[in-house]
Chain A
Amino acid sequence: MLRYLAKRLSYYAVLLIAAVFLAYAISATALQPRTYFDAKVPRPSAESVERQLTALNLNDRTPVAERFGHWAGGLLHGDLGRTIHDTPVTDDFGRRVWVSLRLLLLGSVLGMLLGVAVGAWSAVRQYRISDRLLTVLSFVLLSTPVFLVALFLKNGAIAAKDAAGHDVIPFTGYETPGLTGGLGTHLADWALHLLLPTISLALGGLATYSRYQRGTMLDVLGSDYLRTAEAKGLTRGRALLKHGLRTAVIPMSTMFAYSFLGIFTGAIFTETIFGWHGMGEWLIQSINEQDVNSVVAINLFTAAVVLASGFLADTLHAALDPRVRS
């Protein structure tokens, strides 16, 4: 199992390096930091623009490979370069990454667990009312883009606020500014602010996973080994859990790896809509400001997280399926 995992890990490392280079090349050629300085009022002189661009390692007259070399050299020392406002990218990164990770982890884990549970339950109760209701619901959710779910929730919260005359559920930011009180108050405040963004992220995952889980679980339910497990004396619940669910989850572990892409995209929307100052909002902002170094840092972050979740899925797969280990 270790050898298998080591092989996967080295593949991911190569992939990460290639991906970072690709991200740098695309960002550095597609974005034009020069226009950001040229659009400033009062307009800076040509030499000063040139000087600032070179100082920030953003000058488009330097070959991309040379800029990348300079940037990669800094990366080895944990330096992600400077933003277009001449502040270190690592400052923004460090502040925003926790805001985003909180949402990403909670949203994806919640969606995953609930999706598997709902899907398996739905399969066991195939064609009953509850199964039909869940099927319809998941179809509607699958057909609603995440940003629309987030907007619906936000509009609902605004309507609730208008009806009640005060904030019922907060819908902007991740904490109440200037809140006083102990740790308990702060935690409750955090949880309340997390509620709507997490729901909008988790619902998409829930719908997708439950459909697939229902399918794989149905395949398992008709299998002979499950009947054998019951015949040798296991209760139906135990047999379903130990022999049914475990087998049915295996094909899902590959899905979890790819799903992170969707979750991250969803987080860009929810963060922007709910006014979270996280990575997603940063991305939109830095693209509009032609801030190459920040954009590359965000790319680096997603690539690292996607590959980490891919590795996690591989580990899960190997742990659940003994055939992979050999």
Chain B
Amino acid sequence: MTTTVAEPSPSATAAPRATGRGRLVLARLLAARGAVVGAVIVLLLFALAFGGPYLTPWDYAAPDFSALHQPPSAEHWFGTNGVGQDVFAQTVRGLQKSLIIGLLVALFSTVLASVVGACAGYFGGWADRTLMFLVDLLLVFPSFLIITIVSARLKSAGWIAFVLLLALFNWMITARVVRSMTISLREREFVRAARFMGVRPLRIISRHILPNVASFLIIDATIAVGGAVMSETALSYFGFGVKPPDVSLGTLLAAGTSEAPVFPWLFYFAAGLLVLFVLAVNLIGDGLRDALDPTSGARPRRSRRKRRP
């Protein structure tokens, strides 16, 4: 990572340099087939999740008593469940909830991780030791364990509390990486110069440290979206996450599991969309890694390998 990357934001003053890098990254990203496919899939899924409810006349909660356990048809695109609810309307609604939760969790946890990691790395000393002890302490328990215990108490608080809880147990490893990157950045000339000019620490962190770890944070946040959706569905599957009458992909999978061998449409549409979304997000993350960090790219290595006798 070079020091000239300090401000990737397209602000007016830094316009020429910023667009230069932006264009380079975009060109590399578009050259990676996987990332383009992933981005298209994610866009389509978002369109489905937010446009889908307007495509079907059925409401996700309203039962159609004339059609129980019906296979997919022209009327009910994904079939119906045991009480006659339209599976397409439910799946679309669940997808919407899962996507929102995934995005919010990734956003919150990345912000928390960057703040904690950068502070621990920059200030060092007892602040570092305390924060890292906290990180280790939270890493001792699987987040699933704590969330399941606490979620019993949060029944009334709804899914926003669930989002906060997921974010609260999802930032530790990212914070560790940010910390170690900050420790090496702290000794760089431009940070020292800023420090000796009397710039306050928090400003140094926000203006000089965080922009330099932005590449990592962008990649990590992308992958975190997929991870958050997986955690959400798993917790909801066991009844500790999103709770009825709200639906998410997890609650749909839980409802469809027992009937999956006989009525596959109750299970496999939700399962397929879940895997498809996380896969697409991971493809984007992989493409971003190659585009933002040229040293990790695969192409230079191939040429090096080819030169080998």
A and B assemble together: yes
Interface residues of A, Cβ cutoff 8 Å to B: 15-16, 18-19, 22-23, 26-27, 30-32, 126-127, 139-140, 142-148, 151-152, 155, 158-159, 162, 215, 218, 221-222, 227, 258, 261-262, 264-265, 268-269, 272, 283-284, 287, 290, 295, 298-299, 302-303, 306-307
Q: How far is the CA of A221 from the CA of B304 in the complex (A)?
A: 10
In the assembled complex, how far is the CB of residue B148 from the closest CB belonging to chain A, in whole angstroms? 6
Q: B283 contacts A139, CB within 8 Å?
A: yes
Number of A-B contacts (CB under 8 A): 121
> Does B253 touch A at the CB level, under 8 Å?
yes
In the assembled complex, how far is the CB of residue B105 from the closest CB belonging to chain A, in whole angstroms? 15
With A158-B261, A265-B142, A284-B238 known as contacts, the answer to whether A19 contacts B282 (CB < 8 A) is no
Q: A145 contacts B233, CB within 8 Å?
A: yes
Kindly identify which residue among B142, B253, B260 contacts A302, using a CB–CB cutoff of 8 Å: B142
Can you give 30 A-B contacts (C-beta < 8 A)? A19-B137, A19-B140, A26-B146, A26-B149, A27-B149, A31-B149, A32-B153, A139-B282, A143-B226, A145-B233, A146-B234, A147-B234, A147-B237, A152-B271, A155-B261, A162-B261, A258-B139, A258-B173, A261-B141, A261-B142, A265-B142, A268-B144, A269-B237, A290-B152, A298-B145, A299-B141, A302-B140, A302-B141, A306-B140, A307-B140
Contacts of B283 in A (CB 8 A): 139
Contacts of B286 in A (CB 8 A): 139
Q: How far is the CA of A15 from the CA of B138 in the complex (A)?
A: 10
Write the chain B residue with the least CB distance to A142.
B282
> Does B150 touch A at the CB level, under 8 Å?
yes
Q: A23 contacts B141, CB within 8 Å?
A: yes
Contacts of B141 in A (CB 8 A): 19, 23, 261, 299, 302-303, 306
Kindly identify which residue among B140, B257, B271, B305 contacts A15, using a CB–CB cutoff of 8 Å: B140
> Does B302 touch A at the CB level, under 8 Å?
yes
Interface residues of B, Cβ cutoff 8 Å to A: 133, 136-137, 139-146, 148-150, 152-153, 173, 226, 230, 233-234, 237-238, 240, 253, 257, 260-261, 267, 271, 274-275, 278-279, 281-283, 286, 296, 298, 301-302, 304-305, 308
Query: Lowest 8 CB-CB distances: which A-B pairs, in order?
Result: A143-B278, A143-B279, A145-B230, A19-B140, A265-B144, A265-B142, A261-B142, A30-B153
Write the chain A residue with the least CB distance to B223.
A142
Contacts of B146 in A (CB 8 A): 26
Q: A151-B253, A272-B238 are in contact. List 12 more A-B contacts (CB 8 A).
A: A22-B137, A26-B146, A143-B226, A162-B261, A227-B308, A262-B142, A268-B142, A269-B234, A269-B237, A287-B152, A306-B141, A307-B140
Q: A287 contacts B275, CB within 8 Å?
A: no
Q: B140 contacts A284, CB within 8 Å?
A: no
Q: How far is the CA of A218 from the CA of B296 in the complex (A)?
A: 10
Q: B253 contacts A148, CB within 8 Å?
A: yes
Contacts of A159 in B (CB 8 A): 261
Q: B148 contacts A284, CB within 8 Å?
A: yes
Q: How far is the CA of A142 from the CA of B285 in the complex (A)?
A: 13
Q: B301 contacts A31, CB within 8 Å?
A: no
Contacts of B296 in A (CB 8 A): 215
With A22-B137, A127-B302, A222-B304 known as contacts, the answer to whether A302 contacts B145 (CB < 8 A) is yes
Q: A30 contacts B261, CB within 8 Å?
A: no
With A148-B253, A148-B275, A155-B261 known as contacts, the answer to whether A283 contacts B148 (CB < 8 A) is yes
Contacts of B304 in A (CB 8 A): 222
Contacts of B152 in A (CB 8 A): 30-32, 287, 290
Kindly identify which residue among A146, A218, A262 contacts B301, using a CB–CB cutoff of 8 Å: A218
With A26-B150, A264-B142, A287-B152 known as contacts, the answer to whether A143 contacts B282 (CB < 8 A) is yes
